[in-house]
Amino acid sequence: MKGTFSITLTVDAPPPPPLTLATSDDLGPAGTALSAGDTLPISGGTPPYTVTNVTGTVPPGVTINSDGTLTGTPTSPGSFPLTIALQDSLG
């Protein structure tokens, strides 16, 4: 028996590296404005990222936006532990 058949071969993209967040981030000295583009130290996954459920103490004068960017001017020195939920664009 003979025949002619059509077939489509698909090659998937490799999975992105795991989504990670560094355990610390130095924002610089108190009284110095954060520069445009300062972000949480997120890596891996597939951007864009969504940051939610910030609990703990954010440094006074600093805001963490939902995309992980940091804005403002820290007004007090110190360490400020946070717990956040982090999601990449793949969910």
How many domains is the chain built from?
Answer: 1
- pLDDT tens sequence across 2-25: 999 999 999 998 888 999 998 888
Question: For residue 23, what are the domain limits?
Answer: 19-91
Q: What is the CATH number of the domain that holds 37?
A: 2.60.40
Q: Is residue 1 part of a domain?
A: no
CA dihedral 78, 82, 25, 48 (to 10 degrees): -150
Give this prediction's pTM.
0.76
- Which residue is listed with tokens 């954010």? 58
Q: Is residue 54 part of a domain?
A: yes
Q: What is the pLDDT of residues 47-78, one digit of tens each?
A: 999 999 888 988 999 999 999 999 999 999 99
Give pLDDT, residue 57. Answer: 86
Residue 89 lies in a domain: yes
Q: How many CB atoms lie within 10 A of CB 34?
A: 19
> What residues contact residue 44 under an 8 Å CB cut-off, 6+ apart?
16, 17, 18, 19, 20, 88
Contact predicate 36/70, CB 8 Å = no
